[in-house]
C-alpha cells in the first residue's frame, strides 16, 4: 500500500470518523431492449403505462425507442439499490404484454436501419432537443449502435468524508471554495486511477465476447465466425467496449485531459464548439427537418463516449458542463459495465460490492497526473483486455514493462483488500466485501469462471448468440412474472407514471417561441457562469 492509502484508511477507521463510508451513495442505470417473443427488436412505441420517457425519473428510454433505461434512486447500500432495480423490472414486466427485455449488452436481431425507431420524448422544445440529438447520433454512428445496452454505476462519497480528508491534508477549509475544489479534484484523481486500472473490470465483468452478424452492417472487422449468425473472438471479454462499439473518426482523437476539472471541461467544450467537415457537409437540417443539433465534433458534451464521467445533478435548462463549472463534481458515473446475462437485473450484488471497494480504492490511493503517453498506454491496456483478456499469455504495460494480466490483477486485488476490510467493518457486515474480492480472485486464477467465458460456452453449445440471448430473456421474464409487486408498491409506480404524463403535458403546454430559437439558445448558452 502507498503511504497515502495507509494514512487515509487509518483516518477513516478512527472512532471519530467511523460510519462515514455508510453515507456514500450509489445508483444504477440499466439499459435493456424491448423484444418480441421471437427475440426480434420490438417495433412498438414506449408503453404509455410506463409513463413519460421525458419526465418519469425511474423509467425512460435511451437512444432507440425500444431501449428502455431503468434508473434507481440513490442509496447508501448496494443491496437496497438492487432491490429497487428489481422492483422497476417487475413493474415494467406487468405492462409489457408479450414483449420481453433483452438479456445482453449487444443487440438482438435488428431490422433494417430505417425500421429502428429513434427515442421520442413528445413535442416540447426539450423533448424535441433530446430527439434531434439522437437523430444526430443515428447519422453519425448508425442506428444499430443506438441499440447497445450497458450498466451505468453512479457512485459518490459523502461531503463530510471529503472534509475530513481536506483537513488531514492541511488545506484550510475556510479558504473560499476549498472544499468544493478539493472534492472535485479528488473525484478527478479517482477517474485517473480508474483509467489506470479499469482493464480489471473488463476482465472480471465483461460479458459480450460474441455478437450477431447483422449488427456490423457490413463494417470491416477482425472477428471469427462461430456460426451463420454469430461472430466472436475466442479470448474477448467485452466487444461492446472495443472499437466495434460507440466509436467514429470524429471522436477517435478526442482525449479529454483528466489532470484537472478545468482541463477536462476545456477539452470537451472545444469539441462541442469545433466544426467537423464531414458533419458540416450534412448540415443541421434536411428538407426543413432537423437532423442534428450542430455540425461540430460533438453535438453536446454527453456525446463523448467515455468509460467514466465526472457528474453533477443539473438544474432545469443547465448543461452538464455548466453544472460542473459552477458547483463542482458531485459523483462519478462508471459506464463500461456490460449487462450480465446471467442476472435478471443485469448486475449481481457481489459485483456491486466489488465496485464499491474498487472505486473507494481509486478514490483513496495516490493518483499522479497522467501524461499523454501514459494515457495512450492505459487506453491500450484497456483495448487489449476487451479483445484478448482471457488469452493465457496476455501482457499489459506497467511502468514501461510488460506484465502478465493475471499477475497484475492478483496484485491489485491484494491492494484493494484493506479497503474491503474497512467497508466490512463500517457496514457491520461479516466479510461480504472481502468475500466479493475472493470471488474475483477465483476468476483471475481460472478464466473459465469469467462471465465472458461462461457466455461463450453457452453460445457455442447453442450455436448462436441470438439463441442464448433469447433463452436468458425468457428465463428472466418468467422470473419477474412469477412474483408481481405488492399492491402498495405497484400503486407508487402507477402514481409516478401518471404524474410523469401530466408533467410532460404541462411542459408542452407552457412552451413558447419556436424550436429553432430554442436550439440556438441552448447551443450558445453560457458555458461556465460565476459560482
Q: Can you tell me the distance from the alpha carbon of 2 to that of 139, in angstroms, rounded to the nearest whole number?
A: 47
Going from the C-alpha of 71 to that of each of 81, 93, 310, 399, 509, the distances in angstroms are 10, 15, 18, 39, 27
Q: pTM here?
A: 0.95
Nearest to 194 by CA among 320, 26, 378: 378
Name the DSSP letter for residue 431.
S
261 and 328 Cβ atoms separated by less than 8 Å = yes
* Torsion sign over Cα 507, 291, 144, 40: positive
Which pLDDT score is estimated for 530?
41
**DSSP 3-state of 456:** helix
Whole-number pLDDT of residue 250: 66
Q: According to the model, what pLDDT value does residue 318 have?
A: 78
Contact 228, 200 (CB under 8 A): no
Given this model, what pLDDT does residue 246 score? 57
What's the start-to-end Cα distance of the chain, in Å? 37
Cβ-Cβ contacts under 8 Å for 332 (sequence gap 6 or more): 154, 155, 156, 187, 190, 191, 194, 308, 309, 310, 311, 359
The structural domains of the chain, ordered by start, are 3-511 (3.30.590.20)
Helix axes 349-364, 432-445, angle to 10 degrees: 100
Measured at the CA of 8, the angle between CA 6 and CA 9, to 5 degrees, comes to 65
Residues ≥6 apart with Cβ < 8 Å to 144: 107, 110, 113, 116, 215, 216, 217
| Distance between CA atoms of residues 417 and 233, nearest Å | 32
User: Quick one: DSSP state of residue 118?
Assistant: B
Q: Are 210 and 459 in contact (CB under 8 A)?
A: yes
Instruction: Kindly state the cell numbers that stand for 88.
Output: 422497476
d(CA 356, CA 423): 9
As to burial, measured by CB atoms within 10 angstroms (0-12 exposed, 13-18 middle, 19+ buried), residue 529 is exposed
Which run of H or of E encompasses 26? strand 25-35
Sequence-ordered strand ranges (E) for 308-392: 308-311, 331-337
Q: Are 258 and 195 in contact (CB under 8 A)?
A: yes
Q: Identify whether the C-beta of residue 73 lies closer than 8 Å to the C-beta of residue 44.
A: no
- pLDDT per residue rounded down to tens, the chain (531 residues): 689 999 999 999 999 998 899 899 999 999 999 999 999 999 999 999 999 999 999 999 999 999 999 999 999 999 999 999 999 999 999 999 999 999 999 999 999 999 999 999 999 999 999 999 999 999 999 999 889 999 999 999 999 999 999 988 877 666 657 889 999 999 999 999 999 999 999 999 999 999 999 999 888 889 999 999 999 999 999 999 998 765 556 666 666 678 999 989 988 888 899 999 999 999 999 999 999 999 999 999 889 888 999 999 988 767 888 889 889 999 999 999 999 999 999 999 999 999 999 999 999 999 999 998 999 999 999 999 999 999 999 999 999 999 999 999 999 999 999 999 999 998 877 899 999 999 999 999 999 999 999 999 999 999 999 999 999 999 999 999 999 999 999 999 999 999 999 999 999 999 999 999 999 988 887 545 443
Amino acid at each position: 500500500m502507498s503511504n497515502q492509502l495507509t494514512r487515509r484508511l487509518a483516518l477513516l477507521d478512527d472512532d471519530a470518523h467511523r460510519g462515514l463510508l455508510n453515507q456514500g451513495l450509489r445508483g444504477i442505470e440499466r439499459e435493456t431492449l424491448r423484444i418480441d417473443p421471437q427475440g426480434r427488436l420490438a417495433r412498438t412505441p414506449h408503453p404509455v403505462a410506463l409513463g413519460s420517457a421525458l419526465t418519469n425519473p425511474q423509467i425512460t428510454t435511451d437512444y432507440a425507442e425500444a431501449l428502455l433505461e431503468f434508473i434507481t434512486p440513490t442509496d447508501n447500500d448496494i443491496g437496497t439499490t438492487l432491490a429497487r432495480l428489481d422492483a422497476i423490472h417487475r413493474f415494467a414486466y406487468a405492462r409489457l404484454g408479450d414483449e420481453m427485455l433483452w438479456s445482453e449488452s449487444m443487440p438482438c436481431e435488428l431490422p433494417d436501419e430505417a425500421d429502428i425507431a429513434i427515442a421520442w420524448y413528445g413535442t416540447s422544445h426539450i423533448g424535441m432537443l433530446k430527439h434531434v440529438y439522437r437523430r444526430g447520433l443515428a447519422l453519425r454512428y448508425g442506428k444499430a449502435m443506438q441499440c447497445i445496452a450497458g450498466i451505468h454505476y453512479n457512485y459518490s462519497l459523502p461531503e463530510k468524508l471529503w472534509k475530513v480528508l481536506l483537513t488531514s491534508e492541511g488545506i484550510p477549509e475556510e479558504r473560499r471554495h476549498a472544499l468544493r475544489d478539493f472534492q472535485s479534484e479528488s473525484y478527478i484523481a479517482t477517474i485517473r486511477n480508474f483509467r489506470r486500472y479499469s482493464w480489471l473490470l473488463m476482465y472480471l465483468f465483461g460479458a459480450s465476447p460474441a455478437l450477431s452478424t447483422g449488427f456490423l452492417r457490413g463494417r470491416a472487422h477482425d472477428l471469427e465466425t462461430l456460426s451463420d449468425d454469430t461472430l466472436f473472438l475466442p479470448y474477448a471479454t467485452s466487444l461492446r467496449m472495443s472499437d466495434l462499439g460507440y466509436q467514429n473518426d470524429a471522436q477517435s482523437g478526442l482525449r479529454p485531459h483528466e489532470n484537472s476539472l478545468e482541463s477536462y471541461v476545456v477539452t470537451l467544450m472545444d469539441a462541442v464548439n469545433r466544426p467537423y467537415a464531414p458533419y458540416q457537409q450534412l448540415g443541421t437540417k434536411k428538407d426543413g427537418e432537423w437532423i442534428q443539433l450542430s455540425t461540430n465534433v460533438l453535438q453536446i458534451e454527453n456525446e463523448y463516449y467515455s468509460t467514466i464521467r465526472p457528474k453533477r445533478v443539473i438544474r432545469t435548462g443547465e448543461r452538464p458542463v455548466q453544472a460542473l463549472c459552477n458547483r463542482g463534481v458531485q459523483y462519478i458515473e462508471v459506464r463500461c459495465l456490460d449487462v450480465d446475462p446471467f442476472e435478471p437485473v443485469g448486475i449481481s450484488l457481489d459485483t456491486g460490492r466489488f465496485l464499491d471497494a474498487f472505486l473507494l480504492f481509486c478514490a483513496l490511493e495516490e493518483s499522479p497526473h497522467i501524461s499523454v503517453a501514459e494515457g495512450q498506454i492505459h487506453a491500450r491496456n484497456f483495448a487489449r483486455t476487451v479483445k484478448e483478456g482471457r488469452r493465457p499469455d496476455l501482457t499489459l504495460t506497467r511502468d514501461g514493462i510488460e506484465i502478465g494480466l493475471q499477475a497484475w490483477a492478483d496484485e491489485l486485488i491484494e491492494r484493494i483488500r484493506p479497503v474491503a476490510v474497512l467497508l466490512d467493518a463500517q457496514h457491520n457486515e461479516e466479510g461480504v466485501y472481502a468475500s466479493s474480492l475472493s470471488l474475483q480472485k477465483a476468476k483471475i486464477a481460472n478464466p473459465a469462471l469469467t462471465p465472458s467465458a461462461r457466455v461463450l460456452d453457452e453460445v457455442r453449445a447453442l450455436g448462436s448468440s441470438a439463441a442464448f440471448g433469447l433463452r436468458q430473456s425468457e428465463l428472466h421474464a418468467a422470473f419477474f412474472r412469477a412474483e408481481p409487486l405488492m399492491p402498495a408498491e405497484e400503486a407508487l409506480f402507477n402514481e409516478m407514471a401518471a404524474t410523469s404524463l401530466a408533467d410532460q403535458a404541462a411542459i408542452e403546454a407552457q412552451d413558447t417561441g419556436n424550436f429553432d430559437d430554442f436550439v440556438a439558445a441552448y447551443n450558445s448558452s453560457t458555458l461556465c457562469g460565476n459560482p
